Amino acid sequence: MELRITIYGEPILRETGKTVTTFDESLKRLASDMIETMHEAEGIGLAAQQVNSALMLCVIDVSHLNDADLDYQIDGKRPPIDLIMPLAMANPEVTELPGDDLRAEEGCLSFPGVRGDVTRAERIEVKYQDLDGKPHRMIAAGWMARVIQHEVDHLNGVLFIDHMETRQKRMMDSKLKRLKRQSRDFLAQRSKA
């Protein structure tokens, strides 16, 4: 089932997700709905906060990216991308690994029409649980690392615009104000219903 994506200005986007403690059919259904929503919106990642659920759960699907941009290992192995995507991560914890920081343009499904340059760690380690609660350890670099960092930020109430330089953020001030008005109007309508 496709879910509604929350828009910048909705308070849940600033909430830290609750730890996932129950790995049941309800969690699997939420992850499946998030994957469907992400695909319908033509995104490559989606956090639970973006579908109005403050949980430590995100999904990613970077299987369409060039294989050269997908540097990763899961539990010490590199399975084919088609076997692991789309990927659901519960309770992910990111640690930056030694290496350069890379700057690249990002967008976000909760910020339609807004894009900007963000600097992130080139290499990361992420420890997470799958939808059965089994722990995993991934080493990722490049775009895989960037997408994971973006989604894990969401789980902690951090948005990609928080990483932008002040000057760049000021240039998109009118777009951000418009999104906040839209979210305020939506919340007002919802409270009347």
* Catalytic residue set: 151
d(CA 48, CA 34): 8
Residues 121, 96: contact at Cβ < 8 Å?
yes
What is residue 183's three-state secondary structure?
Answer: helix
Which residues fall within 8 angstroms of residue 15, CB to CB, at 6 or more apart?
49, 54, 157
Name the one residue in this structure whose structure tokens are 């998030």: 34
CA–CA separation, 28 and 11 (whole Å): 25
DSSP 48-68: GGGGT--BSEEEE--TTS-GG
Amino acid at 51: V
